Structure 1
Amino acid sequence: MNEIIIGYNKESPQEKNSEIKINIIDKPKENLLFKYIVGFNGAWETLKEFSEDESIIWKPEIEGSYILMVQAKEENSTKSFDYVSKNEYIIGKLSKDENELIKDIHLNKKKFCVGEKIHLKVETKQSSVLYRYMIKENEKWILAKDYSKENAFVCSVKDPGEHEILVQCKLLDSRENFQEARKVEYKVVEMKKLEINVFKCLTSELLVDEELVFEVGAQYDDNRMILYKFVKINSNGQTKCIQDYSTKKVVSYKENNSGKYRILCLAKDMYSPKQYDDRAIMHYEVKPYKKVEILSFVSDLSSPQIMEKSITFKAVASGGKELRYRYLIEGPKNENSGYIKSSEYIWEPKESGDYKINLFVKDVSFTGKYEDGKSILFTIDEIPRDPVKIDEIILDKKESVLVKESVNIKVIAEGGITLLYSFIIRKDSVEKERIDYGECNWVKFTPELEGRFEIEIRVKDKYSDKVFDVHEIKHIDAYKYIPANIDYVLMEPKEYYLIGDQMVLDVITQDTEEILIKYVLQINGHKVEETDYVKSKRYILTPKCSGRYIVKVYAKNKKSDKKFDSSKEVSIVVNDAPPVTNTTIKCDRFSFSPNEPIEITAESNGGKDVVYEFYLMEKSEWNLVQKYSKKNYYDFIPFTKGIYKILALAKSNYNKKAYEDYCMIDIKVTEKLSIKDLVDNKDIQQLKHIVDNNILSDLKLTEEERKSLI
């Protein structure tokens, strides 16, 4: 009954002579024929015989209660009808109020955005009413919630457009499919298109084992919740999810291998039915280390020099992880140092002439010939002379200064007759200032801009016709502020941390008063706490659960506009209990005979809720005889003579490892022997077992046995 859903253009009740359109709202299948029948005061009248028409016009002339019936059948069906539905319809004011169930239907609003929730509430005139809710999808009514006593209905909207909800009601004792039905319309509009407009890397240098930080930004409605997913793709196309859908716009990770990568960001509205609403991809390359660059290459003695005079070449290079230096000397007598760890090389020339000293630098992992190189021309004379030599360069401040902060540079040199000094200041390889040769051996330098400045110090003898006899280069970095640098994160050295042990981290930085510190605590991969930037250089933590604790420490200068200037990470494993150690096995007797029970007891130090497992080796085969439990003893009866072995494994109950500690003993089962027999047979192992396990007092020994044992 009521397999067809019937609708009307005018809700019951209506006045007589009204033109009422009866139409089929939903049908069980396609290609059906429909017959329309009306019943009044026990008499039935066919309004229209079977046809394909899914609607007719009915014009009642008499007031009263009518039954409208629709029969349907398949075109070739031999039955009188296959499906049927009927509804009650009131004409006139007759019992209008008595037959109406629905008083009103309330929606929280008429216009929704995709993803929002509809809250519908039905107000009825009677109690004991059942409610059914249907939603129209693709011109078909879909049952959303079957009959229940709940007069409220909630659902989320997914598709934009004009939509309807059909509410059907009937009394609790009604046998009808429904007694009254009403539709309510609402509109769903597209949300503002989500668009990723920013996707950038916040890390200036992308290096292996350094934290890579990426940030994404998007345009969207302010009242929407946006989720972001980040996927890393390597050069082979292999993917790894760095962050699943989350509201976090900033993601970071450490790359273990160098190479070219892509990072894909997927963004979607939390309520969007799509897999994603927008996406962006960034190409980047992770280098194994900073670019290798030779900052300076000088000698401690100026050219020319005499034979057999030791000359030290010094190199200052930056970048790389583990640098190697090669000194290649070309001239009358060649030398090749090969790649060495030391940045200094001592050369003792054996022949006079003109030489070219080549310096090549590379990281130990680099497979090419070199990554950077420089050369010095040098002359070796046979005539001895007192060379010009720079002994020391003194700065009254550190090599990192603030903009407009002065630093005094003083040169200590020796040799020659009368020494002259020249200073050349460069920035980004461009000469900014030059102080020509004079007798003043110091200069006051005040940087006006941010950046790295190169100070070349030249020294020569007054009577020398060379550009300089010796020179050296110093680098000074000028900042608007001195970037924070974490030198160390100190904590009490401890092999084992337990729950409840207080852990104190002290951060050691320079320019302490200007530095702010942020602490981020992660427990087992979950961020638990993140402080603001604070002055305190101490972080105190008392763990309340076991696991891996990671404390990330970020430092920045008060004036810094970066997220951080420097960072370090401390990893600590916190355990529930100290490790199980010093496991021993005791036995209740000293001699072992066949058919006599033996009790073995295991004891350990440390651990928490320690459990024990026992293995028995009999006839050269090991067997598990007692699984892990808190029972620390095991009883067995040897039935034959021979060598038996007992293995006891011990661990804390929470520990998932196979074991933490173990102990094993041998038991020799023979004919029953007395203490005197053991002494006479010199059975040292059994006698030692008696003494070590303190079972002497438990034995009932004769005076002769006691004396023999002693």
Structure 2
Amino acid sequence: MNEITVVFNLESPQEKEKNILISIGDRPEENLLFKFIIGCDGTWETLREFGFEETVEWMPKEEGKYIIMVQAKRKDSTKPFDYVTRLDYIIGKVEEKIISNVNLDKQLLDLGDKLKVSVDVKKMPVMYRYWIRENDNWELAKDYSADNTLIWSVKSTGKQEVLVECKTLDSKNKYDDFEKVQFEVKSVKKLEITNFKCLTEEMLVGSELVFQVDAAYQDNRMILYKFIKIYSDGRIKCLQDYSTKRIVEYIEKKDGDYRLLCMARDMYSQNEYDDRAVINYTVKPYREVCIQSFTSDLSSPQISSTNVTLKTIVKGGRELLYRYIIDGNEGEDSGYIKNDTYLWKTKKPGEYKIIVWVKDSSSKENYEASSTMNFTIDELNREPAKIQDIILDKDNKLVKNDTVNIKVIAHGGTELRYSFHVFKDGAEVEKIDYGSCCWVNFTPEEGGNYEIEARVKDKYSKRNYDSHYVINLEVYDFMPARIDHILLPTKEYYVVGDNISYSIITLNTKKILMRYVMYINGHQVEDTGYVKHKKYALTPKCSGVYSFQIYAKNVDSTKDFDCRRDIKIIVHEALPVTNTRLQFDRTKININETLTVTAASEGGKEVKYEFYLMERGDWCLVQRYSRKNYYSFIPFSTGNYKILVLSKSEHKRSAYEDYAMMEFNVE
């Protein structure tokens, strides 16, 4: 900017209708084409198009603040211009100085700050007008008024100016005096989204999806985030409008491919967004169906008429269906059933191929996973050894270096022998050969998924085993936190001022950290971060819907959380108004005598009452809602009367919460 020196034969300010000669002084290079442009109040006029002439005459006919702009370019240049200079020029007569000083509360501001301008003058009364120059354009900030102050929100960065014009009340000039003061708005570090990720490990229909965006920006700046979900057909849905919350959660109800757009901007930015990022994700209807184990309670071979139970252990799916196909001399097909076990009643000897198909009930495929085993049925009459049960002294979820005792309950045979095989990720890592001991202690030294196969056979059996059973163990480097119970107060109706506390019951308490996040009417008001205490208490100071997100994680966990539970309660302003009743100030009611009826009730807060009176069969409102709990009147005729009172708390918007009615006779 201002790369060319421009000189005037007459210095600013000048009166209108004077010939002002604008000339080119120093220039960055020779043989340039020059264009002269005049601007005032947002309107631009070209004095001369591009040419080699270096001077131009200008005769302004109106007073005002002008911008003289000179553009220059090389003869063969394809750009609109290569150099430019802008200068201010004032046209108008200044007879005497009115302004003594223009004060700014600060010369250097941050984007979004408020600039406070105050003007000192030498005489009164005068009127003030304020202009702000942003991006080389003058913008009227405040038209003529008697106010000698201006408060202006700065909206762009860079060097700027404030122009104050003053004139007396009877002046016919556009202004009698003016003063310009410069200020600067600091540029802020460019906002940049550095990471956009999904915190949910498995994206499934019906489960909560949690996305988090990280951004780099200048300290002490307030950043707003907006999240828009984009469907595969191009439809969009705003999940969160601009907010400081950088984590968005929602539950997807339909599987498919989606995109999530995050737009981030500085709170004071004039842009729709300062940076944006998109993440593509696929929501599956359920976890992938995977057969972990397909076994039989009896090992092959077996004799005819033996009942063999087939068992399938499967992970994934929502509502699994199983189909058992037995191919051999006496074939069977169970069709798809919901049971993961199938009783095969053997009838004929021979070689059999047993197949299991598994799929989710919603799948249109023949099957999603399958497994096969071979089985022999012969005619020898023998009483096989059979495993009846496997007993663990602990849960099947362990921490490494923790020992579990595994005991086999079996019957049959003449003298049983037991063997144990340990598999990790499908590979055998340890085994105990056949012996008379029916139990074993297993201590995993690494985390992972383990299968322990217990085998049983008769001492004199020539088979590898007569019966076997597989159990699955999940071994962790540490035990993930799990919230077993949340002990809630016995109250069902909460009011402002109640003491509300929650006790959290978890396993392995010393290693568990808790985090409590509280929302009131959808607005986050507290986030404790991770703390050790397992109790959360509060005393609500306002009514509304209180939502609590309770997170738990092991101190060794690298996840944001291992377990989460949500609680929602409604806190009322007060107990409901109940037991409203009426009482007269006398027992005998006579004509032409003043009667006062008083209302009382229980519960509520700042209870109001409204009275209705029925006289001669017509109801009439006699006293509108107020804190006044009594009504006095004189019955002027005998007969039957009724008095009705409605009651409600001050804050209630309903017509009433409770009422009472009394009937009486006037003699």
1:374 deviates by 2.7
Contact 1:24–1:55 (CA<8 Å) still a contact in 2? no
Tell me which of 372, 376, 394 is aligned to 2:373. Answer: 376
The TM-score with structure 2 as length reference comes to 0.71
My pick for the range that moved more, 227-236 or 440-449, is: 440-449
Counterpart check, 1:54 vs 2:68: no
Secondary structure of 1:507's aligned partner: strand
- In structure 2, the CA distance between the partners of 1:658 and 1:415, relative to structure 1 (3 Å rule), is farther
Greater alpha carbon shift after TM alignment, 510-519 vs 456-465: 456-465
Q: What is the alpha-carbon distance in structure 1 between the residues aligned to residue 159 and residue 558 of structure 2?
A: 50
Q: Please, which of 99, 102, 115 is the counterpart of residue 100 of structure 2?
A: 102
2:313: which partner in 1?
A: 316
Residue of structure 2 in register with 1:480 after alignment: 477
2:357 and 2:611 map into 1 onto residues whose CA distance is 63
Asked if 1:267 is matched to 2:264, the reply is yes
Tell me, which stretches of 5 or more residues in structure 2 are unaligned? 1-7, 15-19, 24-36, 48-55, 65-89, 582-598, 632-644
1:334 to 329, 332, 335: 332
Pick closer, same or farther for the CA change 1:460–1:607 going to 2, 3 Å.
same
Corresponding residue for 2:93? 87
Closer, same or farther in 2 for the Cα pair 1:649/1:179, shift >3 Å? closer
Alignment partner of 1:237 is 2:237: no
2: CA distance between counterparts of 1:447 and 1:408? 12
| RMSD of aligned Cα (Å) | 5.4
Mapped partners of 1:652, 1:236: distance in 2? 51
Change (3 A) 1:502 1:312: farther
Cα distance in 2 between the residues matched to 1:632 and 1:262: 64
1:248 equivalenced with 2:245 (yes/no): yes
The answer (yes or no) to whether the contact 1:215–1:251 under 8 Å persists in 2 is yes
Deviations 1:209-253 (A, max 9, x none): 333221111233334322111122233433332222122222222
1:482-561 correspondence to structure 2 within 5 Å = 482-492=479-489, 496-497=493-494, 502-561=499-558
Alignment of 1:290-369 (within 5 A): 290-331=287-328, 332-336=330-334, 338-340=336-338, 342-369=339-366
Listed as ranges, the gaps of 5+ residues in structure 1 are 1-6, 14-18, 34-51, 57-68, 73-83, 90-97, 585-601, 617-622, 634-647, 664-692, 701-710
The one-letter code of the counterpart of 1:54 is W
Cα deviation for residue 282 of structure 1 reads 1.0
> Does the C-alpha gap of structure 1 residues 12 and 613 become closer, same or farther in structure 2, counting only changes over 3 Å?
closer
Aligned counterparts of 2:284 and 2:42: Cα–Cα separation in 1: 66
Q: Map of 1:128-277 to 2, 5 A cutoff?
A: 130-136=127-133, 141-148=138-145, 150-159=147-156, 163-170=160-167, 176-185=173-182, 191-277=188-274
Q: 2:447 is matched with which residue? A: 450
Give the AA of the match of 1:339: I
Aligned to 2:412: 415
Is the Cα contact below 8 Å between 2:98 and 2:166 reproduced in 1? no
* Aligned residue in 2 for 1:26: 40
> In structure 1, how many angstroms separate the alpha carbons of the residues matched to 2:373 and 2:118?
90
Aligned twin of 1:437: 433
Distance (whole Å) between structure 2 residues aligned to residue 127 and residue 106 of structure 1: 21
SS of the aligned residue for 1:532 comes to strand
What's the offset of the Cα at 1:504?
Answer: 4.3
In the alignment of these two chains, the number of paired residues is 592
Of stretches 357-366 and 478-487 in structure 1, the one that deviates more from structure 2 is 357-366
Distance 1:457 1:142 in 2: 86
Kept after mapping to 2: 8 A contact 1:499/1:577: yes
- Of stretches 178-187 and 208-217 in structure 1, the one that deviates more from structure 2 is 178-187
Per-residue Cα deviation, 1:398-431 (whole angstroms, up to 9, x for no partner):
32332333444343434345544444333333x1
Contact 2:99 2:119 in 1 (8 A): no
CA contact (8 A) 1:233 1:263 kept: yes
Using the size of structure 1 for normalisation, the TM-score is 0.67
- Distance of 1:657 and 1:328 partners within structure 2: 66
Q: Secondary structure at the match of 2:531?
A: coil
Deviations 1:618-650 (A, max 9, x none): xxxxx99999989999xxxxxxxxxxxxxx999
Matched, 1:401 2:407: no
1:507 deviates by: 2.4
Percentage of identical aligned residues? 45
Q: Does structure 2 conserve the Cα–Cα contact (< 8 Å) formed by 1:267 and 1:277?
A: yes
